[in-house]
Amino acid sequence: MSPPFPPTLGMVLAGGLARRMGGGDKARLEIGGVSILDRVLATLSAQCTGIIINANGDPKRFAETGLTVIADNVAGHPGPLAGILAGLDWLAAQGNGIEWLLSVPGDCPFLPDDLVEKLHQARRKMGAGVPLACARSGDWRHPVVGLWPVALRADLRHALVDEELRKIEVWTSRHGVAVADWPVEPIDPFFNVNTPEDARRAAEFAAGS
């Protein structure tokens, strides 16, 4: 029996500066006694063939995960697209035949267990001409929660370096992007922790779930 979706590498985008949280790595925050990063890794490990972390600065701060940590390979910290490109370049260099990268932010403690499967389903329903997929909950799209094919990495590098493009949805709209939907109750699975109040709300949900 064939798997419900093609092999997919997971990547956690953990390069944010967490200014609204007073600095540091948001992925390190504990929700219900478990760090957001550990929650993310536990969810992705059941869905992905492997996981890497995209983070700038000293990679040793993630050493205890045992995972490969890759930095942006485009200068100037141009945002999430640079992390996605770095992940695609790393994946292509492995030569392991995996053609898909899933990206998720490192500040979402309640990611869904069917994330990879539903994103691939949405992409397939749209047909071969739509190579990308992203998540949506309620009325909100989450462009950094998405599937990225290795085949588009050269085009992405051109957009980032030559065009200095920074907006994810501008680039994805050029190629076509499918959208997979999730409900926002009892909590948005893409709820992200940006502020101390967000952290308190997440802890309350974790305690009651």
pLDDT in tens, 68-91: 999 999 988 889 999 999 999 999
SS3 85: helix
Q: List, in order of start, the domains of the chain with CATH numbers.
A: 8-208 (3.90.550.10)
Q: Which secondary structure element, helix H or strand E, spans residue 157, and what is its range?
A: helix 153-157
Other C-beta atoms within 10 Å of 155: how many? 12
Residue 76 identity:
G
State how far the Cα of 118 lies from the Cα of 157, in Å rounded to an integer: 27
Q: What is the pLDDT of residue 78?
A: 85
pLDDT digits (tens, 9 = 90+) for 14-51: 965 444 444 567 888 999 999 999 999 999 999 999 99
Task: Read off the tokens for 165.
Answer: 């493009």
Q: What is the pLDDT of residue 103?
A: 98
Q: What is the pLDDT of residue 76?
A: 83
* Average pLDDT over all residues of the chain: 92
pLDDT digits (tens, 9 = 90+) for 165-177: 999 999 999 999 9
Q: Are 131 and 176 in contact (CB under 8 A)?
A: yes
Q: What is the pLDDT of residue 16?
A: 55
Give alpha helix (H) positions in 2-152.
36-45, 80-94, 115-126
Is pLDDT above 50 for 64?
Answer: yes
Q: What is the pLDDT of residue 208?
A: 83
